[in-house]
Amino acid sequence: MTPMTSRRASPYLFLLDLLALLLFAGVGLLSHGQPLSLAGLARNVLPVLFVWVLLAPFLGTYRRPSWPNLLLTWALAFPAGLWLRQMVFFGSFGMGFWVFLGVAMGFSLLFLLGLRGLAKLLRLW
């Protein structure tokens, strides 16, 4: 992949990653019997997205897109974002949080890998 193609792919990849996070949050809301709302999506996605956007430039997530860069960004930003979400909404850090973190990490990764795989198939990356 040439540097020029890499630069053009970045906005598409960011939007696909954002879509993956929104889909993950939406499915999570619905699976817990909560309505799909802008407030619910924002509550669940914004903390993760905040950390993701802070880390991505330092990790080369979109400047040098690769599977390892995506996985590193996910492995750092997702748990930190969930920790931030828990802090903001005065949640506890008992066993329930750690179970939630494990399940959320697994399912979020499925959404991210699925949409990044689609980007590969469509030659957006």
Q: Is the pLDDT of residue 58 over 50?
A: yes
The pLDDT value given to residue 9: 53
The pLDDT value given to residue 1: 44
Q: How confident is the model at residue 125 (pLDDT cuts 50, 70, 90)?
A: confident
Q: pLDDT by residue (tens digit) across 77-115?
A: 999 999 999 988 877 888 988 998 999 999 999 999 999
Q: pLDDT by residue (tens digit) across 4-50?
A: 444 445 678 999 999 999 999 999 989 988 888 898 899 889 999 99
Q: Is the pLDDT of residue 72 over 50?
A: yes
pTM of the model: 0.84
Residue range of the domain that includes 70 = 3-121
The pLDDT value given to residue 88: 87
**Quick one: what percent of the chain has pLDDT higher than 90?**
64
User: Tokens 């990849």 label which residue?
Assistant: 13
Question: What does the chain look like in DSSP terms, one character per residue?
Answer: --HHHHHHHHHHHHHHHHHHHHHHHHHHHHHTT----HHHHHHHHHHHHHHHHHHHHHHTTTTS--HHHHHHHHHHHHHHHHHHHHHHTT---SHHHHHHHHHHHHHHHHHHHHHHHHHHHTT--
The pLDDT value given to residue 27: 94
| Total domains present in the chain | 1
